Structure 1
Amino acid sequence: MKLQSIAIQEFKQFTGRLVIEDLQPGLNLFVGPNEAGKSTIAEAVRSVFLERYKASHLKDLLPWGKASGQPSVEVSFDLDGAACRLSKQFVTRQRCELKIGQAVFGEDEAEDKLAALLGFSRAARGPLKAENAGVPGLLWVQQGGTQEMRDSTGHAAQYLRDALSQLSGSRESAGEDALIAAVQRELRQLLTARTQKSTGPLAEAEVALAALIVERDDLNRQREQFEENIARLAAQQEAFEETERKRPWELHEQKAVLAQQRADAAAELERSVQSLAQTLKVSEAELALSLQQEQAAVEIETAVARERQQLVAARANVSAVETEHAQAASRVAQCEQAFADANRALELANAAVTAADLRSQLGLHRVERERLEAAIGAASEANDALLEAARAAAALEIDETKLKRLSSLDAALSVLRARTEAAMTRIEYRLNGAIMVGDAQISGEGVLRLDEEKLIGLGALGELHVIPGVSDLSARLSELASLEAQHGQLLQALGVASLGEAELRHEQWRALVAQQKSHAKVLEAHAPQGIDALRAALASATARLQTANERLTSLPDVSAAVPLDEARRSADIARDALESARKMLNEAAEKRSTGIAMAESLATQLQRKEAQLNDAAFCQNRARWQAKIVEQRVQVEALTKQREGRERELDAARLDDPAAEAKRYRASAELARQEQHERQVRIAHLRSQLETVGASGLGERLAALDAKVEQATRRKDELSLRAGALSLLDEVLVAERDAAVAQLRAPLTERLGHYLKRIFPQSIIALGDDLSPATLDRYGRADTLDALSFGTREQLGILTRLAYADLLKASGRPTLLMLDDAAVHTDAGRRDAIKRALIDAATRHQILVFTCHPELWDDLGVRQRAIDDIKAAA
C-alpha cells in the first residue's frame, strides 16, 4: 500500500484545510518544531483508517476554538495497482466512503473492508483499543512509543503467524497447543505460571499443614513452658527465702547514714570556703578601686604634658591658616569681577541670537497671515455657495417615500387602465341623424365606450340593449377610481401635476445635494474647524507678528556681540574659576575656624587639668589612697592563702564523694527491697499459671494434633507429586512444540538478523510466544528487553518493525510504516546505521518519518517537507 495524498480539514490544530500531495513510494520525511502539527498528521492517518466514523468519543478531534467544526480526513493510496480513495467525516454529519478501483463501499461495509485489508479488528463500541489495532498498531509508531514492543506485537501476533505459515509452509499444531493448554490448566491449579509457587488445592494443603504444625508447635512450647515454670518457681522460692534471711537492704541503709554524715561535714567546709572567697572578692575590689584612682591621677599628669605641646603647635597653625584665608579672599574678589564681565558678554551674545530668531519668526508670521487671509476668502465663497445650494435644495426637496409610492401607483394605473379599456364595449359610429344612448343624444362620428348596460334608442327602428361581455368590469372600474383618487392625493401632497414633474424635481434636488457636499468639502479643506477658527488664527498670527516686532525693537545694540559659543565658553571658564576660588576660600575659612577652636579647646582643657592637679583636696586624697593600696595588698595576700588551705581540705573531703555514696547506698537498699517484692509477685504469678495449665489437658490435645499433622502431610505430598508430574509433562510437550515453532519462525528470524547486524553484530534476538523480542544475546550474555537501556530498546523497536513489515509484505499484506519522533535517544553512529536500514526498507515499503530535529536527518537523500511550509501553502 502506498499513500499518494492526505487531505485534513478542521482537525484539531488544523482549523482550515491542509493538503499533502506527491507522497513518495519510499521514504517521506516531515520536519517541524514541537507543536507544529507532525503528530496531528500521524493521528489523522490513524483515525481515517482505524477509528469508527460514528464513534461518539472523537469530540477531541474538533478544531481548537471551533466547537461547531466538522473534522474530516481523506487519503488517496495505491493498493496492488488499484487506485483507492478513503474519506471519513467525524463528529457531525458522520460519513465514510472507500473506493477501490471502480468498487465503492460505504459506511460499515467500508470499515469492515479496511479492517480485513490492513489486518486489524473493529472495536464493538467506544474508542479503538490497543488489542484491536493489529498490524497498524505494530507498524504505526506513535510519539514516545518506539521502545514499546510487547503489547503491539502481541496484538498483531495472529496476523504474523498467518504470514509465517504462508511463507514457511508449516503450521503450528492446534492439537499440541490444546494439549499443552490442558496440561497447563491442570498445572496452574497447583502451581503459578511465572514463579512456580503453590496455588489452589496444593496451596490450601500447605497452608492447612503449616497451620496445624504451628498449632502443634505452640502446644509443645506451652508444655516446655510449663516444665520451665515449675523449675523457675522452685528457684524463685529458694531465692526469696534466702534473701529474707540475709535482709541486704538493712546493711545498705547503715552505710548510707555514715556516708551522709561525711557529706554534711564536707558541705560545712564548702560554705566556709565560699565565705572566704566572698571576703577576698570584696578586698580585691577595694584594692582595684584604689589602683584605678592612682592610675587616673597619673594619666592626668601625662595628659597635661602632652596637651602643652599640642597647644603650642595649634597656635602656630592658626597663624598659618589666617594668612592662607587672606590670600583666598583676594582671589575670590578678582574672580567675581571676571565672572561679571563674562556674564555681560554672554547676555549680549544671547540677545544677538534672540534677534536673529525674531527676524526669522517675523517672516514666518507674515507668510502665515497671508495664507490665513487667502483661506478665509476661499472658505467664505464656499460657505456662501453652500448656503445657496441648501436654500435651493430645501425649496425642491420632495418626500422620496411618497415619490416611490406615486411611481408604483402610476405603473399600476397604466396597467389597470389598459385592462379596463380592453374590457369595455367599443362601438364606432357614423350617423346621419341622432340616436339616444341612455339619456344622452349622440350624432356624427366617434367611438362609444360602454362600461355598463346601456339602452340605445334607434327611433322608429326600435332600440338596442347593450350588455358588456366582462362580468367584473364594474369592480375594475371601482379599483381604477380608487387608485386614481390615491394618485391625485399623492400629486397634491407632493405639489406636482404629474409623476414626470415629481421625478424632475427629485433629480434637481439630488443635484443640489451633490453641490452641497462638494461645497462642504471645499469649505472643510480650507476651514476644517470653521471660518471663525480661521479668523481667530489670523488674529493670533497678527498678534504674534506685532509681539515679535516689539521684542526685536526692545533688544539692545548687538553689533559688538561675540559668537554665543565663545561667550558661553568664557562665562563657563569664569564661573569655574570663581567656584574654585570660593571653594578654596571656604576651605581656608574652615581651617582657620577649626584651628582657632582647637587652640581654644586645648587651652581650656589644659587649664582645667592643671587646676585639678594643683587642688589641695585632690593632693590629700591621693596621699591617702596611696597608703591604703599597701594595706589592701597585704590583706588580699593573707585571705588568698587562707582560702587555698580550706580548698585543699575540701578537696580531700570530696575525694570519695560522700553525697553520691549516700545516694548509692539508699538506692541499693530500695532496689533490694523492690527485687524481693517483685520476686514474691513472680512466685504468685507462676503458681497461678501452673494451676491453669495443669487443668487444660495439654497432653491429650498434643496427641490429637499429631494425628492431624500426619494426615495433612500425606495430602500435601500427594498434590506435590501430581504438580511435579504435570510440570514434567508440560516441559516435554513445550519442547516438542518449540521445535516445530522454530521452523515456523525461520523467515522472521532471518529478517530480524538482516536488520539486527547493522547495529548489533554477532548478536541473536530470541522471540517470545507472541513473536515479540524477548532477549538479546550479545557475546554470550543474554539480556531481557527490560534490562536494556531506553535508547537500545528504541533502536530494537525500529529494526524489528522493519523486519515485521518485510514478513507481512512477503505474505501479501499491505504495509505502511509511520515513525513519529523515533531514534531520539540514539547516538550519531547508531543513528547512521538506522538510516541505512530505513533506506534499505524504503525500497520495499512506504515510510513516513516525523521529526523535530531536521539537522539530524538531512543526509537521507530525500526532500525534507516542513510542516510550516505545508500549512502556509494550504
Structure 2
Amino acid sequence: MKLQSIAIEEFKQFTGRLFIDDLQPGLNLFVGPNEAGKSTIAEAVRAVFLERYKASHLKELLPWGKASGQPSVEVSFDLDGVACRLSKQFVTRQRCELKIGQAVFGEDEAEDKLAALLGFSRAARGPLKAENAGVPGLLWVQQGGTHDVRDSTGHAAQYLRDALSQLSGSRESAGEDALIAAVQRELRQLLTARTQKSTGPLAEAEAALAALIAERDDLNRQREQFDENIARLAAQQQAFEETERKRPWELHEEKAVLAQQRANAAAELERSVGQLAQALKVSEAELALPLQHEQAAVELETAVTRDRQQLDTARANVAAVETGYAQAATRVAQLEQAFTDANRALELANAAVSAADLRNQIGLHRAELERLETAIAAASEANEALVAAARAAAALEIDEAKLKRLASLDASLTVLRARTEAAMTRIEYRLSGAITVGDASISGTGVLRVDEEKRIGLGELGELRVIPGVSDLFARLSELAALEAQHAQLLQALGVASLAEAESRHEQWKALVAQQKSHAKVLEAYAPQGIDALRAALASATARSQAANERLTSLPDVSAALPLDEARRSAEIAASALESARKILNEATEKRSTGIATAESLALQLQRKEAQLSDPAFCRNRAQWQAKIVEQRVQVEALTKQREARARELEAVRLDDPAAEAKRYRASAELARQDQHERQVSIARLRSQLETVGASGLGERLAALDAKVEQAIRRKEELSLRAGALSLLDEVLVAERDAAVAQLRAPLTERLGHYLKRIFPQSTIALGDDLSPATLDRFGRADTLEALSFGTREQLGILTRLAYADLLKASGRPTLLMLDDAAVHTDAARRDAIKRALIDAATRHQILVFTCHPELWDDLGVRQRAIDDMKAAA
C-alpha cells in the first residue's frame, strides 16, 4: 500500500485546504515546529481510514474558530498495483466513498471493506478504541506513543498470527486452539483469565460459605457479647451503688461555695484598689496646677536676672558701634570724591580711544567706497553683455527634441531611400534612336529606374512591359513618402531648409548660451545680490563715512588723556574702595540700628517683668498656691501608701485564683452527677439487651449454622477441585500449542533479529503469547520491557514495528508506517542506527516520518517537506 496524495480541508487547525502530493513509495519526511500541523496530518490519515464517518464525537475535528465547518479528508493510494481513492466528510453532511480500480463502495460498505483490507475492526459506536485499531494501530504511531508497543501488538495479535500461519502454510494448531478454547471456557466459568480469581459457581460457593461463616462468627460474637454484658452489668450495678453511697458531687459543690466566697472578697478588694487609684489621680491633678504656677514664678525671676545682664551688654555694644559708624561715614565721603575724579579721567581716555577708532573707520569706509564703485562699473558692463547674449540666443534658439527627431528622420530617410533605390528595377540604356517610356521619349545614354509597371515602346519592333520584381516596393515607396512629408513638416516647424542648417543654428545657440552663462558668472562675482544691492551698499557706506566724521568732530580735546588701561584700572580701584567703604558703612549702620533697637526692647521687657513680680495680687496668689502645694503633697503621699497596701493584699488573694477554683469545683460536681446518670442508663440498657438475647434461642441457631457451614465447605472443595483440574489441562494444552506456535514465530524472530542487531548486537528478544516483546536478553541478563529506560523502549518500539511490517508484507497484507516525533529520547549514535533501519525498511514499505527537529534528520537522503511551506502554497 502506497499513499499517492492527501487532501485535508477544514480539519482542526487547517481552516482552508491543504494538499500533499508527490509522496514517495519509500521514506517521506515532514518537518515543522511545534503546532505547525504535523500531528494534525497524521490524525487526518488515521481518521479517514479508521474513524466511522457518521460518528457524533468527531466535532473535535471542526476547524479552529469555525463551528460551521465541514472537515473532510481524501487520500489516493496504490494497493497491489490498483489505483484507489478514499474520501470522507465528517460532522455535517457526512459521506464516505471508496474507489478500488473501477469498483466503487459507499457508506458502511466502504468502511467494512477498509477494515478487511487494512486489518482492523469497526467500533460499534462512539470513538475508535485501541482494541479495534488492529494493524494500523500497531504501525501508525501517534506522538508520544512509540515506546508503548505491548498494547498495540496485543490488539493486532490475531492478524499477526494469521500472517505467521499463512507464511508457514500450516493450520495444525487450529484444533488445539479449539480444544484450549473449550477448556478455557469451562475454566472461565470457575476462574477469571487474568487474575485467576474465583467466578461463577465457584465464586457463588465461596460467597455462600463466607456468608455462612460470617453469620456463624456473628452469632459467636453475640454469645461472647452476651457473656460480657452480664459481667459488665454486675460491675456497673456495683459502681452505681458505691457512688450513690458516697455522693462525691456534694463535696465538690461545698468546695465551690467556699471558693466563690473567696472570689467575691477578691473582687471587693479590687474595687477598693481602683477607688484609691482614682482618688490618687485626682490629688495628683490638684497638685499639678499650683506646681505649674510656682514653676512659672521661678522662671519669671530667672528671666528678670538674665534680662538685666543682657541689657547692660546691649548698651555697651551700642557705644562701641557708634564710634565705628562715625569712622565709616568719614571714609565713604573721602572715597566718593576720589571715585568722581577717576571717572572723569576714564571718560577722557575713552574719548581718546573712540577718536582713534573713528579715524580707522573713516579709512575703511574710503576703501569700501572705492571697491563698490569699481564693482558697480564691472557689473554694469557684464550685465549689458549678458542681455545682448540673451537676445542673440533667443533669436537662434531651436527645439532640441524636434532637432533630435529631425536627425532621426533624416537618417531613416537616407536608409530607406537607399533600400528603395536598390529595390527598383534599374535599366541602363545606350540608344542610337529614340524610344518611349510611358508617355515620355528618351534617347542617348542613361539609367532608367522603374518603381512601378512601365510600358516601353520600341517603334516598329513593338513594346516591352517592365514589372518590378520586388513585391513590397510599393509599401516602401509609401513609407518613404510619409517620412519625407514628416521631414518637410519638421523643417518648416524649425524654420530651416535642411538638417545641416538646423544643426548649425543649434551650435550657434549653444555658444551664445555658454557666453550668457559666462557673463552671468562675472555678474554674480561682482554683484551676487544684483547691481541695485551694490548701489544700496555704496549709499550706506557713504552715509556711515559721513557719520564717523561728524562723531570725530564732536569729541572733546583728548591731548591730556591718560592711557585707557591706566584710567580704567584707576577707576576700578576707586570704585572697589568706595564699594568696600559703603559696605562697611552699611554694616555699621545696621549694627547701630540693631543695637539701639535691642537695647530698647530689652529695657521694655525688663520693665514689664519687674512690674509683674512686684504686683500685690501676684504676690498674694503665689503665697496661696505655695500653701496648697504643701497640703496636696501630704495627701498624695497618704493615698499612695494606702493603694500600695491594698494592691499587695489583692496580689496575695489572686495567687489561688478563687473564681477559677469555684468554676472547677462546679464543673466537677456536674460531671459526677452526669457519670452517675449515664451509669444508671447503661444498667437499664444492658438489662434490656440481656433479656432480648436470652429469649432469642442463640444456642439453637449456632448449631443449625454449623451444619450449613459443613455442607458449604464440601460444595466449595468440589468446585475448587474441578477448577484445579481444568487449570492443569489448560497449562498442558497451551504448552503443546506454544511449542507448535514457536515454529510459526520463526519468521518474526528472524526479522526482529535483523533490526535488533543494529542497536543491540549480541542480544535476543523474547516474545510473549500476543507476539509482543517481553524480555530483552543482553550480556546474559534478561530485562523485562518495563525495566528498560524510556529511550530504549522507544527504540525497541520502532524496530519491532518495522519487523511486524515486514511480516505482514510477506503475507500479502498492505503496510504503511507513520512515525510522529519518534526517537525523541534517543542519543546520536542510536539515532544513526534507527535511520539506517528506516532506510532499509523504506525499500519495502512506505514510511511517513513527522519531526520538529529537521536538523537531526537532514542526512536521510530524502527531501524534507516543511509544513509551513505547504500551508503557504495552499
TM-score by length of 1: 0.56
Kindly provide the CA deviation profile for residues 636-672 of structure 1, in whole angstroms up to 9, marking residues without a partner as x: 3433333333333334344444444444444444444
Which residue pairs with 1:698 in the alignment? 698
1:165-176 equivalences in 2 (<5 Å): 165-167=165-167, 173-176=173-176
Distance in 2 separating the partners of 1:67 and 1:250:
87
Which residue pairs with 1:98 in the alignment? 100
CA contact (8 A) 2:48 2:88 kept: no
Distance in 1 separating the partners of 2:299 and 2:799:
99
Letter aligned with residue 733 of structure 1: L
Which residue pairs with 1:192 in the alignment? 192
Which residue pairs with 1:87 in the alignment? 85
Kindly provide the CA deviation profile for residues 329-367 of structure 1, in whole angstroms up to 9, marking residues without a partner as x: xxxxxxxxxxxxxxxxxxxxxxxxxxxxxxxxxxxxxxx
- SS of aligned partner of 1:615: helix
Which residue pairs with 1:8 in the alignment? 7
Return 128-137 or 195-204, whichever deviates more: 128-137
1:557-568 equivalences in 2 (<5 Å): none
CA contact (8 A) 2:122 2:128 kept: yes
Distance 1:167 1:274, change over 3 A: same
CA contact (8 A) 1:134 1:155 kept: yes
- SS of aligned partner of 1:29: strand
Distance 1:626 1:20, change over 3 A: farther
Letter aligned with residue 681 of structure 1: V
CA contact (8 A) 1:53 1:96 kept: no
Which residue pairs with 2:493 in the alignment? none
Distance in 2 separating the partners of 1:277 and 1:830:
93
Distance in 2 separating the partners of 1:633 and 1:36:
96
Distance 1:821 1:277, change over 3 A: same
Letter aligned with residue 647 of structure 2: E
Which residue pairs with 2:797 in the alignment? 797
Letter aligned with residue 83 of structure 2: R
Kindly provide the CA deviation profile for residues 832-852 of structure 1, in whole angstroms up to 9, marking residues without a partner as x: 443233223234333222233
Highest CA radius of gyration, 1 or 2? 2
Which residue pairs with 2:719 in the alignment? 719
Which residue pairs with 2:646 in the alignment? 646
Distance in 2 separating the partners of 1:95 and 1:681:
84
1:383-462 equivalences in 2 (<5 Å): none
CA contact (8 A) 1:44 1:73 kept: no
Which residue pairs with 2:835 in the alignment? 835
Kindly provide the CA deviation profile for residues 808-865 of structure 1, in whole angstroms up to 9, marking residues without a partner as x: 3344444332223333455555544432332232343332222333233223232212
Distance in 2 separating the partners of 1:252 and 1:296:
66
Distance in 2 separating the partners of 1:230 and 1:651:
56
Which residue pairs with 2:76 in the alignment? 75
Which residue pairs with 1:27 in the alignment? 27
Letter aligned with residue 6 of structure 1: S
Which residue pairs with 1:755 in the alignment? 755
TM-fit CA distance, 1:782? 3.8
TM-fit CA distance, 1:267? 3.9
Distance in 1 separating the partners of 2:176 and 2:72:
49
Distance 1:681 1:620, change over 3 A: same
TM-fit CA distance, 1:705? 1.9
Q: Is there any run of 5+ residues in structure 1 with no aligned partner, and where? A: 320-556, 562-595
Which residue pairs with 1:282 in the alignment? 282
Letter aligned with residue 219 of structure 1: L
Which residue pairs with 2:206 in the alignment? 206
Distance 1:87 1:633, change over 3 A: same
1:205-604 equivalences in 2 (<5 Å): 205-288=205-288
CA contact (8 A) 1:63 1:71 kept: no
Letter aligned with residue 100 of structure 2: L
CA contact (8 A) 2:775 2:782 kept: no
TM-score by length of 2: 0.56
CA contact (8 A) 2:815 2:845 kept: yes
TM-fit CA distance, 1:869? 4.1
Which residue pairs with 1:18 in the alignment? 19
TM-fit CA distance, 1:731? 3.1
Distance in 2 separating the partners of 1:776 and 1:302:
110
TM-fit CA distance, 1:161? 1.7
1:136-147 equivalences in 2 (<5 Å): 136-147=136-147
Which residue pairs with 1:493 in the alignment? none
Letter aligned with residue 857 of structure 1: W
1:99-118 equivalences in 2 (<5 Å): 99=101, 104-107=102-105, 118=118
Which residue pairs with 1:444 in the alignment? none
Letter aligned with residue 20 of structure 1: D
- SS of aligned partner of 1:154: helix
Distance 1:790 1:297, change over 3 A: farther
CA contact (8 A) 2:97 2:110 kept: no
Distance in 2 separating the partners of 1:607 and 1:264:
68
Kindly provide the CA deviation profile for residues 674-693 of structure 1, in whole angstroms up to 9, marking residues without a partner as x: 44444333333333333222
Distance in 2 separating the partners of 1:37 and 1:186:
51
* Superposition RMSD in Å: 5.1
Is 1:738 aligned with 2:738? yes
Which residue pairs with 1:478 in the alignment? none
- SS of aligned partner of 1:191: coil
CA contact (8 A) 1:236 1:683 kept: yes
TM-fit CA distance, 1:699? 1.8
Return 801-810 or 266-275, whichever deviates more: 266-275
Distance 1:681 1:294, change over 3 A: same
Which residue pairs with 1:615 in the alignment? 612
Distance in 1 separating the partners of 2:256 and 2:71:
102
- SS of aligned partner of 1:770: coil
Return 168-177 or 109-118, whichever deviates more: 109-118
Distance in 1 separating the partners of 2:603 and 2:151:
105
Distance in 1 separating the partners of 2:604 and 2:794:
100
TM-fit CA distance, 1:723? 2.8
TM-fit CA distance, 1:695? 1.9
Distance 1:125 1:279, change over 3 A: closer
TM-fit CA distance, 1:25? 4.0
Distance in 1 separating the partners of 2:609 and 2:230:
101
- SS of aligned partner of 1:747: helix
Distance in 1 separating the partners of 2:254 and 2:696:
50
Distance 1:121 1:680, change over 3 A: closer
- SS of aligned partner of 1:835: helix
Distance 1:623 1:733, change over 3 A: farther
Kindly provide the CA deviation profile for residues 469-503 of structure 1, in whole angstroms up to 9, marking residues without a partner as x: xxxxxxxxxxxxxxxxxxxxxxxxxxxxxxxxxxx
TM-fit CA distance, 1:798? 2.0
- SS of aligned partner of 2:860: coil
Letter aligned with residue 273 of structure 1: V
Which residue pairs with 1:688 in the alignment? 688
Distance in 1 separating the partners of 2:689 and 2:628:
87
Kindly provide the CA deviation profile for residues 606-629 of structure 1, in whole angstroms up to 9, marking residues without a partner as x: 989995796356676566556655
TM-fit CA distance, 1:166? 4.5
CA contact (8 A) 1:26 1:844 kept: yes
Distance in 1 separating the partners of 2:71 and 2:676:
95
Distance in 2 separating the partners of 1:824 and 1:291:
94
Distance in 1 separating the partners of 2:869 and 2:653:
103
Distance in 1 separating the partners of 2:205 and 2:607:
117
CA contact (8 A) 2:79 2:814 kept: no
1:627-638 equivalences in 2 (<5 Å): 628-629=628-629, 631-638=631-638
Distance in 1 separating the partners of 2:55 and 2:678:
81
Letter aligned with residue 612 of structure 2: D
Distance 1:50 1:204, change over 3 A: closer
CA contact (8 A) 1:20 1:870 kept: no
- SS of aligned partner of 1:860: coil
Distance in 1 separating the partners of 2:726 and 2:773:
28
CA contact (8 A) 1:172 1:741 kept: no
Distance 1:646 1:34, change over 3 A: closer
